[in-house]
Amino acid sequence: MNDYVFDSNWARAQDGADPLRKFRGEFLIPPHGDVEQTYLCGNSLGLQPRATRQALLDELDDWARLGVEGHVHGRHPWLPYHREVRDALAEIVGAEPSEVVAMNSLTVNLHLMMVSFYRPTRERHAILIERNAFPSDRHAVASQIAFHGYDPDEALIELDGEESGGTVSMAAIERALHQHGSRIALVLWPGVQYLTGQAFDLAAITKLAHAQRCTIGFDLAHAAGNIITNLHDSGCDFAAWCSYKYLNSGPGAVAGCFVHERHARENLPRFAGWWGHREDTRFQMRPGFDPTPGADGWQLSNPPIFALAPLRVSLEIFQRAGMQRLHQKSKKLTGYLDWLIRTQLNDVLEILTPAEPERRGAQLSVRVRHGREAGRSLFEYLVAHGVLGDWREPDVMRLSPAPLYNRFQDCFALAEAVQAWRNASA
């Protein structure tokens, strides 16, 4: 779609013709005065589904009404609760149901995966990440390297973005693996890079890593619920993600984890907990650990019901909307925002995110051309006028039109607000 128009009536007409428009009504849009805020921050924290409150109240009521018997007699029994989100999670990330599990938080899951899949040796103990990785990822891999007795300054390979905007080409990834592959034990790469918004071809990177006999895992914090990941077909060894961004499950929501089925029955080293033990013998309370085949075998503790309930609600919405349909709408919405910035705001904003639709999701990272102070001024102006993106140091503003609840009108409102700031600053 390239016949975009800078016109509020045109944007309104696109929203009226959107087959997914009804889903916006299932979310609580934060207010700005007497109107709804223009919320473009779903890449940081997704909005609350209207059904979430009742889902939590239902669990509280079952606890009050049933006590411990809620484990088996609740409306959504607690013992098998994690299975209620399994199929929908698998659909969203493109996996077999046995390959996914909802548990813990993202960085905890990355550490658990590295216990199993980062097996350094004297000859092969390096980890490859991107230079501007999210700090938690860098902390995690550096601490794993040090835990195994190696020096992060030597063993942590950070690949610079060589493209304009700081993005990383496939050619650069291939060169890094060709140069360092013989000493790389693990590649940990993002599905979508948090700062630039660049989306990566997971299958292509997996193929390059495996060709060098490297294990590969993906951090899908900004990819799950945003782009089509096809984890199973990609062939990657593992992946982990959070659920509070595009998956709209609330601050600190339960995260997700993927382990490819080829590892389902391998006797891999792991940190074990009783909920990872085979379900049919778990309550026999034997001392030996017999892991459940598949991703479930990496669980540690009982499912956190009050944290899983919002995820269950959100995933039910995703199932009705359909990930493929959402992705198609996302490309149109982000394409419109990209077009508005390039044609109407090019003297103000520089886009860092790749222009090719297949190399991005529902996020554009932008930099104000007049420097950091002007960038902060614009960001604060937008917030004061009811347009919310987010700011990442030192000078990047991220704007994310999430297809479940954002509209063409939101993209148009952002452009109008930037124009108003430009005129006021002239």
Sketch out the chain's domains with CATH numbers: 8-36+323-425 (3.90.1150.10), 57-319 (3.40.640.10)
Average pLDDT, stretch 369-375? 93
Q: Give φ, ψ of 117 to 5 degrees.
A: -110, -10
Those residues whose C-beta lies under 8 Å from the C-beta of residue 287, and which sit 6 or more positions away, are none
Task: Select from 256, 188, 192 the least CA-distant residue to 217.
Answer: 188
269 token code pair: 């080293």
Give the pLDDT of residue 394.
92
Give the pLDDT of residue 178.
97
**Is 172 strand, coil or helix?**
helix
- At residue 181 the predicted structure's pLDDT band, cuts being 50, 70 and 90, is very high
Q: Is the pLDDT of residue 1 over 80?
A: no
Give the pLDDT of residue 265.
87
Task: Select from 329, 419, 259 the least CA-distant residue to 14.
Answer: 329
Average pLDDT, rounded, for the chain: 97
**Is 187 strand, coil or helix?**
strand
Give the pLDDT of residue 83.
93
Average pLDDT, stretch 8-14? 98
- At residue 426 the predicted structure's pLDDT band, cuts being 50, 70 and 90, is confident
362 token code pair: 């529902």
Q: Is the pLDDT of residue 4 over 60?
A: yes
Q: SS in 3 state form for 13-75?
A: HHHHCCCCHHHHHHEECCEECCEECEECECCCCCCEECCHHHHHHHHHHHHHHHHHHHHHHCC
CB 245 within 8 A of CB 42: yes
- At residue 157 the predicted structure's pLDDT band, cuts being 50, 70 and 90, is very high
Quick one: what percent of the chain has pLDDT higher than 70? 100
CB 192 within 8 A of CB 133: no
In tens, the pLDDT along 280-328 reads 999 999 999 999 999 999 999 999 999 999 999 999 999 999 999 999 9
Average pLDDT, stretch 71-96? 96
Q: Is the pLDDT of residue 414 over 60?
A: yes
Distance from C-alpha of 33 to C-alpha of 28, rounded to nearest angstrom: 15
Give the pLDDT of residue 48.
98
Average pLDDT, stretch 272-278? 95
Report, in angstroms and rounded to the nearest whole number, the Rg of the chain calculated over CA atoms. Answer: 22
Q: Is the pLDDT of residue 31 over 70?
A: yes
Give the pLDDT of residue 232.
98
- At residue 167 the predicted structure's pLDDT band, cuts being 50, 70 and 90, is very high
Kind and range of the H or E element at 86?
helix 86-93
Give the pLDDT of residue 145.
98
Average pLDDT, stretch 276-281? 94
